[in-house]
Amino acid sequence: MKKRYAVVGTGGRAEFFYGAIVKDFQETSELVAICDINQTRMNYTNQLLVDKYEYNAVPTYKADQFEEMIRNEKPDYVIVTSVDRTHHTYIIKAMELGCDVISEKPMTVDEEKCQEILDATKRTGRQLRVTFNYRYAPHNTKIRELIMDGAVGDVHSVHFEWLLNTEHGADYFRRWHRDKRNGGGLLVHKSTHHFDLVNFWLGTRPDTVFAMGGLMFYGRENAEKRGETKFYQRATGNENAKDDPFALHLDTNKHLKGMYLDAEHEDGYQRDQSVFGDGISIEDTMGVMVRYKNKAILTYSLNAYMPWEGFNVMINGSKGRIELRVVEKSYVNSGGDKADEGALKTKSIKVFPMFAAPYEVEIEELAGGHGGGDPILLRDIFDKASDDRFARAASHVDGAMSILTGIAGNISLRTGQPVAVDKLVTF
């Protein structure tokens, strides 16, 4: 019998899931409804289902009709791809109404909402899965395999540097993410991927977190300091934005126009705000230190205005060192082919044994977004064909442990003090 899926939140990330259901997993899965605050956006989603995927239009429900959708359509699973700060609302309601849940990362944005979700999973007995596609990328899985197989012995420290460039990195400052209340800032919304990878690689949990950071490049004040004089509120149709390399023009991209520009009359959401405008409350420059339960130490940095996109990881163990370097293609969310999101330009893994010659590690070449990880994740969600030696499927506990590193980092940013993760929530 096919599993029935409903999707709440039909913005940029939703098509990743509903497109897979109606195109690649029709034998096991069925899309039965969509839910959003914006009817125009849902109508556009139905247009894509019919025209792009040759599927049928599905029933639409506004956000205040969410419970009615569950009662009427009886989904087995609810897929949550709404604004991050609303994840907990839909996750908890869905579980209370008898559904299992698949949530886009981050699971939620602060410790109070995280606790509510943890309590609801206990109370209802329902399953909650968080979709960490980076676990499934072959180069990241290979790091897990090398550590599991003892290539560098016991891991004592990790240095993890993530670079967001002036296209993708800037995109977080154009849209709803720019307000820290919506996504917890990049330490939660973006870094949850990276903190989850360290938990996954090392098989441990964070214990103590200390962070520093600030808004040092984006925002009007920083632009003024650099001598900028041409400002604007939004890019589309604005003369001052014509030659701005940071501007996003919604009317030049059919998909962005249909999903956002044509829909903004309903809720006022503008997808193309200036990255050098007022009202930005998230950081663009961050440094974090983490001590884990197994005593390993992480030093982590995230910068959102770099000349290239990707990451460097150095893993130091009792028997040697692993170095991972990945350069990713630049992209704007929903601005092009889904396969371009996190797609790779170059990747390399090198192992340096303590008393032997260093060697390059072969990495499997796979098609698809996020280094080939997206298709594997989707098969794992909608097909569940085989056992996974690497245990890549992420539970609500994994979702919590990843965001709690960033949440603790946000608390540390505010207080200037180290934060004990165990004091934030009770499992």
Contact 56, 49 (CB under 8 A): yes
Domain ranges, ordered by start, for the chain: 3-132, 134-218+280-373+391-423, 220-263
- Nearest CA to 193 among 308, 107, 292? 107
Among the residues of 180-237, which ranges form H helices? 180-183, 186-189, 191-202, 220-225
- Nearest CA to 366 among 354, 358, 374? 374
- Give dist(CA 13, CA 378) in Å, integer: 13
Q: What is the value of pTM for the model shown?
A: 0.95
Contact 35, 63 (CB under 8 A): yes
Would you give per-residue pLDDT tens digits along the chain (427 residues)? 899 999 999 999 999 999 999 999 999 999 999 999 999 999 999 999 999 999 999 999 999 999 999 999 999 999 999 999 999 999 999 999 999 999 999 999 999 999 999 999 999 999 999 999 999 999 999 999 999 999 999 999 999 999 999 999 999 999 999 999 999 999 999 999 999 999 999 999 999 999 999 999 999 999 999 999 999 999 999 999 999 999 999 999 999 999 999 999 999 999 999 999 999 999 999 999 999 999 999 999 999 999 999 999 999 999 999 999 999 987 677 666 655 565 788 999 999 999 999 999 999 888 888 888 899 999 999 987 668 999 999 999 999 999 999 999 999 999 999 999 999 999 9
Residue type, 403: I
- Nearest CA to 417 among 209, 206, 192, 187? 209
- Give dist(CA 171, CA 227) in Å, integer: 22
R_g over Cα of the chain: 21
Strand pairing report for 128-131 and 394-395: antiparallel
Strand partners, 128: 101
Residue type, 293: K
Strand partners, 420: 208
CB-count burial class (<10 Å; 0-12, 13-18, 19+) for 233: middle
List the 394-395 sheet strands across, edge first.
60-62, 29-36, 3-8, 77-80, 100-104, 128-131, 394-395
Helix axes 191-202, 138-148, angle to 10 degrees: 30
Q: Give the number of other Cβ atoms within 10 Å of residue 308's Cβ.
A: 12
- Give dist(CA 157, CA 419) in Å, integer: 19
Domain over 3-132 is classified CATH 3.20.20.140: no
Equal fold, 3-132 vs 134-218+280-373+391-423: no
What superfamily in CATH does domain 134-218+280-373+391-423 come from?
Dihydrodipicolinate Reductase; domain 2 (3.30.360.10)
